[in-house]
Amino acid sequence: MKRNSIIRIVIIASYVIFLAVSWTSGFNPGKEISHNFADFSVEMLKILPGAFILIGLFEVWVKRETVERHLGERAGIRGYIWAVLLAGTTVGGLYVAFPVAYSLHSKGAKLSVIFTYIGASAICRIPMTIFEASFMGIKFTAVRLLVSLPLVIVASILLGAYLTKRNYKIMAGK
């Protein structure tokens, strides 16, 4: 077995032992950690299967030419607008955004547009924005979006240009 595999097994076993000892000894922080882990796991099991099915359908149904036309090298400012609109409708946060971004990259989306999509999916999802507006007010939410979205787009363009100039390639996961 590889050393990394052994380290992972030891870490996971230590975590499970910690949780078991916490429950048997009544150690409240450990119990709280296990509750949080269970809640998080249930939430992910609710979101991820459907999201991955949709990503799989996207891979099969959407043609590479369509993605290249709307999000590729020649898309211009339209690509960034599409990326922000797509990010606004992404459910599941960055857990879903990263696989979608990889799928967009494999279909020919421009690197800076992908960075815009990832950044925008972290800051402007529609449900999160509505929730924020209901607590912080529409004025605060509008100012936050009007400041943060251009910064995300500019940073994405700069990072995309920097990495493209250096012939950066996204590697497939192991």
- The pLDDT assigned to 173 comes to 56
pLDDT digits (tens, 9 = 90+) for 87-146: 999 887 788 899 999 999 999 999 999 999 999 999 988 888 999 999 999 999 999 999
- The pLDDT assigned to 78 comes to 94
- The pLDDT assigned to 87 comes to 93
What is the spatial distance between Cα 35 and Cα 110, in angstroms, rounded to a whole number? 41
22: tokens are 């916490």
CA–CA–CA angle 105, 111, 115 (5° rounding): 100
pLDDT digits (tens, 9 = 90+) for 14-33: 999 999 999 999 999 999 99
For the chain, what are the domain ranges? Answer: 1-46, 62-174
What is the spatial distance between Cα 87 and Cα 81, in angstroms, rounded to a whole number? 10
- The pLDDT assigned to 142 comes to 95
Determine the length of the chain: 174
- What percent of the chain stands above pLDDT 90? 70
Q: Which stretches within 26-125 are classed as H helix? A: 28-61, 64-71, 77-88, 94-106, 111-123
For the residues 155-173, what does the mean pLDDT come to?
86
Instruction: Return the closest-CA partner of residue 125 out of 94, 89, 84.
Output: 89
